[in-house]
Amino acid sequence: MAEKDYEIVPLPKEQWQGTNIPMRYTTEEYYDVKIAEESDGYTIKIHKSQFESPVTHYPEEYDFPDKLYQPHWEKAYAWGVLKDGDGKKELLACIETCPEEWSNRLMVTELWVHESIRRQGIAHRLMAVAKEQAYLEHRRAIILETQSCNVGAIRFYQKEGFELIGMDSCCYRNNDLERREVRINMGYFPRRKQKVTKETIAIRKEKETEYHRTEEAVLGAFWNKHHLGCNEHLLVHKLRQNSAYLPELSRVAVAGDQIVGVICFVRALLKKGEKTKEILTFGPLCVVPKWQGCGVGGLLLKEALTSAKEAGYGGVIIFGEPDYYPRHGFKTCDQFGITTEDGKNFDSFMGIELIEGALSGFGGKFIEPEVFLDLPKEENAAFTKQFHAPAKQRFPGQWDEIEC
């Protein structure tokens, strides 16, 4: 198979649950783990050593061989590389992840590449999918378990940016230390960054010469997040040609000469019977993945809301992430007596008053500008060709089967 044929595809649970993973490897080295109790604590030493002769580990020696979608990983999701076998697809490589919700970490529960195609960068590409999932789900770390004798895998994880985060000397049997197969835990931290300030990031109006770069940043922020691919970059493009768009209130966040965040303000309406009131909405507010979690979104929002207030607008209503916007003062619209155009309320339908009573004193229905709804798939596909878009990939957090 040529490299381009090693396409990474989702492995749906219905089809792949229970599939054996032939987790075989041979190693000449191991990490010798020594734990010593001392008067004032403990010392743990982990040093690479040589086996007398190469050792092979294979699935048949274990009571619980690796399988996809084991019942205890309730929210697992897997991707893999497949080959056409005797009338059915055969697994050539896979990665399985499962969120540990209470600690907000993403676990890599399986990673395997068939011996015939190792050292061709396939595990690296599979891990890139797990890293993308961690970004999309705002996980604070990716964690995994490996063994002290799996030196090749440990080297791979180190290359991928994983660090040692712990060990367990009796995970598999009580004599794991003597058997030289000790559980090693490794972790990867997607966003370990300093909070940004107005000194490190400039928040300003967008220049005409930057349109394409802004759209590229928007694509980077939304790609594969809610759908396969995204269409928010086309939305920004079309907004600029729409009379409801407010460039004087919209902002970009700039680091050096890079656009790292965007907020686009648009006029919207509240409607109550025959009466209407002009308010604002925005969409999208976004930050490119590498800069997420540093406070850029908050800076953009604060700056843009201040200018909106100075321009005399009383309130803003949006459809957005229910976990994010309340931190910046947004409340669900039922608290203002406002519903969607078809009379609904839900957690992601939120608003903020810039002038007290500007929303609650009017109530009524929120009328979203039509430009938000007019994003035909064919137009988006043609428009997206102007960008270096990453591969489309299915992720568990996506809303639906829709491909943009």
Q: Give the interface with ligand COA as residue ranges (CB under 6 A).
A: 23, 25, 111-113, 118-124, 146, 150, 152-153, 155-156, 159
Is 242 exposed, middle or buried, given 0-12, 13-18 or 19+ CB atoms closer than 10 A?
A: middle
Question: Phi, psi at residue 8, to the nearest 5°?
Answer: -90, 120
| Residue showing tokens 């957005």 | 320
Contact between 239 and 383 under an 8 Å Cβ cutoff? The reply is no
Minimum Å gap between C-beta 309 and ligand COA is: 51
Position 252, amino acid? V
The tokens describing 327, both together, are: 């931190």
Minimum Å gap between C-beta 288 and ligand COA is: 25
CA dist., res. 260 & res. 58, Å (int): 46
CA dist., res. 237 & res. 385, Å (int): 14
CA distances in angstroms from 341 to 242, 351, 368, listed in the order given: 21, 15, 8
Minimum Å gap between C-beta 128 and ligand COA is: 10
Nearer to ligand COA among residue 123 and residue 260 (C-beta): 123
Question: Phi, psi at residue 235, to the nearest 5°?
Answer: -55, -50
Minimum Å gap between C-beta 341 and ligand COA is: 50
Cβ contacts of 24 within 8 Å, gap of 6 or more: 56, 57, 58, 59, 115
Nearer to ligand COA among residue 122 and residue 230 (C-beta): 122
Minimum Å gap between C-beta 117 and ligand COA is: 7
Minimum Å gap between C-beta 48 and ligand COA is: 12
Minimum Å gap between C-beta 348 and ligand COA is: 38
Closest CB to ligand COA belongs to which residue?
Answer: 152
Question: Phi, psi at residue 18, to the nearest 5°?
Answer: 90, -5
Nearer to ligand COA among residue 22 and residue 85 (C-beta): 22
Contact between 396 and 75 under an 8 Å Cβ cutoff? The reply is yes
Minimum Å gap between C-beta 97 and ligand COA is: 13
Nearer to ligand COA among residue 8 and residue 221 (C-beta): 8
Q: What is the DSSP letter of 216?
A: H
CA dist., res. 221 & res. 284, Å (int): 10
The C-alpha angle with vertex 138 and arms to 134 and 141, in degrees rounded to 5, equals: 55
Nearer to ligand COA among residue 8 and residue 249 (C-beta): 8
